[in-house]
Amino acid sequence: MRVLSIVGNRPQFIKSGPLSVALRKAGIDEVVLHTGQHWDDELSQVFFDELGLPEPRYRLDLHTADSAAMEPGIRDALDRERPDWTLVYGDTNSTLAGARAAAAAGIPLAHVEAGMRSGDLSMPEERNRIEVDRIAALLLAPDERSRDTLAREGVIGRTEVVGDVMADVAFKLVSFARERSQILDRVGLEPDGYVVTTIHREANVHPERLARIVDGLNRIEEPIVFPAHPRTRERLAGLGPHVHVLDPLSYVDMLALTSQARVIVTDSGGLQKEAYWFGVPCVTARPSTEWVDTVEIGANVLVDDDPERLAAAVAGARMPKERPELYGDGRASERVAAALLGSLPGS
């Protein structure tokens, strides 16, 4: 069996690491295509180096998030390789471009992280999720909630609950990251004595919203570490002296930093999950989230861009006493590989 895996941004590189290993162990030939949606070395190449990812056979190097610009290059690779499956991750424009190209090429599509919904159609990521799930022949859902969502929507593909592949790498590397990383010493921090923030989504880097989020961060008394996405950093202004703005970090440094924080403030879906796995309370600068369980349990608070609510949520952030297992047990990648093999005609 041959699979063409399409990756384009930081979370997808992370998710693809353990899955590439599982595919090899299952005897599946993986061909990797990097769209170039993230092209900065600190958001791209460092993850291939750190996580031991296979070198992409195809690099589109487009330096764009425009899905229409990605489709021809993906289609060319699909026509050349004629894989049994096209594999896409999550909800980015690279995901959408891969799904559309696979449909045009007549190649079955498998979607990792299928069925996640925030209910907010103003988010491009939400629209991407819905369209990709309608195209996919194999929907690899992280939990029962997402499977039920897909059933309600009447998708035509086969759904399997496999867990979250990001959990696989986070569980395996967090202890290693804490031992090896020097990030806390470099910034002068003590475990449980600081706040980590990441803001990168398109809606949140608009000047008015970003200014309100910055206002909220300035009301927090604790030290804040802010590894800033390039497009966020160029628009940041007015942060207080207690906010340490850093360049994007390697995955090992980021794991060490986030897993030992007192609170995480973010608009990242991946960090909302990782915060939960690490036992760190999360404050989410969005009006909605696809990771609804974390909010229902009380481990995550949605504050949108309200400065007062943001600061108050950080001050009062605590993890709930009961923390049930969410989004997998660290073996999702093995289940994805088995699902791909089991979904071949005649299997």
Residues with a catalytic annotation lie at: 200
Q: Round to whole Å and give the CA distance between 109 and 28.
A: 16
The first and second tokens of residue 29, run together, are 């030939």
**Cα 13 from Cα 51, distance rounded (Å):** 8
Q: Can you tell me the distance from the alpha carbon of 31 to that of 29, in angstroms, rounded to the nearest whole number?
A: 7
Q: Is 30 strand, coil or helix?
A: strand
Is residue 28 within 8 A of residue 1, CB to CB? The reply is: yes
Q: How far apart are CA 93 and CA 91, in angstroms?
A: 7
Sequence-distant (6+) residues with CB within 8 A of 296 are none
* Residues 181, 173: Cα–Cα separation, whole Å: 11
CA dist., res. 234 & res. 269, Å (int):
22
What is the token pair recorded at 339? 């699902």
Which parts of 26-66 fold into alpha helices (H)?
45-51
d(CA 250, CA 308): 32
CA gap 196, 222 in Å, rounded: 10
CA distance 343 to 347: 6
Q: Measured between alpha carbons, how far is 154 from 134 in angstroms, rounded to an integer? A: 9
Nearest to 70 by CA among 152, 12, 18: 12
